[in-house]
């Protein structure tokens, strides 16, 4: 939802020429670095969230992890889609959206009866990967920070794997693991200048505002 909100806010600026291909890369870097750790919490530690909603939802642990992977991909390419649309390339945007929907609906029909929620999540991920394959040729000129995003993803995965092992070996509670995960991930991002302290503070303020509204 946060990524979609940013994309929607960017479209008028891109259309007016205020956000060019070079500046878009910086926006992608910022959005990815801010939102990736929160998204990866759902991949590594989905159980507390599902249990809080309803203990019966624990059966959806693996599908939620698959959706988290799909959303990680969309964090990388979602703003590029917004740029393609806002730049007036409506035919290509239509091709992307149609291909994604066709892939998902086709696989939903095949996989959901066979594998249930896991099949539906897999179909959703396949549609996202289809979008990625179609967008790749259109990134020419857009200085997407692929190296920084891959570094962010590597950090997020390594810390997640480490903490999952600590939960098993040291009986570390999941809630403490989540807090530790977010803290370490953001601190390392700041140390490597993938994100600034001010940008992180702005994220915390935004989350605080969302909590108040709710």
Pick left, alpha or beta for residue 113 (phi over 0 → left; psi -120 to 50 → alpha; otherwise beta): alpha
Any idea which of 127-136, 172-181, 188-197 has the lowest mean pLDDT? 172-181
Does the pLDDT at position 101 exceed 70? yes
Task: Encode burial over 171-180: b for 16+ CB neighbours within 10 A, e otherwise.
Answer: eeebeebbee
Any idea which of 25-29, 90-94, 103-107, 183-187 has the lowest mean pLDDT? 25-29
DSSP conformation letters of 132-172? HHHHGGG-TT----HHHHHHHHHHHHHHHHHHHHHHHHH--
The reported pLDDT for the residue numbered 65 is 93
Domain spans in the chain, listed from the N-terminal domain onward: 2-87+144-213
Confidence of residue 67 (pLDDT cuts 50, 70, 90): very high
> Alpha-carbon distance 145 to 86, whole Å?
20
- Region 47-58: mean pLDDT is 85
Any idea which of 38-42, 165-169, 194-198 has the lowest mean pLDDT? 165-169
Confidence of residue 193 (pLDDT cuts 50, 70, 90): confident
Per-residue pLDDT of 8-33, as tens digits, reads 666 666 666 666 666 777 788 888 88
Average pLDDT, the chain: 84
């Amino acid at each position: 939802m946060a990524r979609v909100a940013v994309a929607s806010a960017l479209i008028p600026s891109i259309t007016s020429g205020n956000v060019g291909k070079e500046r878009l890369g910086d926006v992608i870097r910022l959005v990815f670095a801010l939102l990736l750790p929160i998204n990866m919490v759902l991949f590594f530690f989905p159980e507390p969230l599902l249990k809080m909603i309803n203990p019966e939802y624990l059966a959806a642990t693996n599908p939620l992890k698959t959706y988290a992977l799909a959303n990680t991909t969309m964090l990388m390419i979602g703003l590029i889609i917004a740029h393609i649309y806002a730049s007036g390339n409506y035919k290509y945007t239509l091709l992307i959206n149609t291909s994604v929907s066709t892939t998902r609906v086709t696989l939903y029909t095949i996989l959901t009866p066979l594998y249930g929620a896991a099949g539906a999540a897999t179909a959703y991920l396949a549609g996202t990967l289809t979008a990625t394959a179609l967008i790749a040729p259109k990134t020419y000129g857009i200085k997407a920070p692929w190296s920084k995003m891959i570094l962010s993803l590597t950090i997020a995965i390594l810390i997640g794997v480490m903490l999952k092992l600590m939960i098993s070996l040291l009986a570390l509670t999941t809630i403490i693991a989540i807090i530790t995960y977010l803290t370490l991930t953001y601190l390392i991002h700041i140390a490597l200048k993938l994100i600034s302290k001010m940008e992180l503070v702005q994220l915390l303020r935004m989350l605080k505002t969302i909590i108040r509204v709710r």
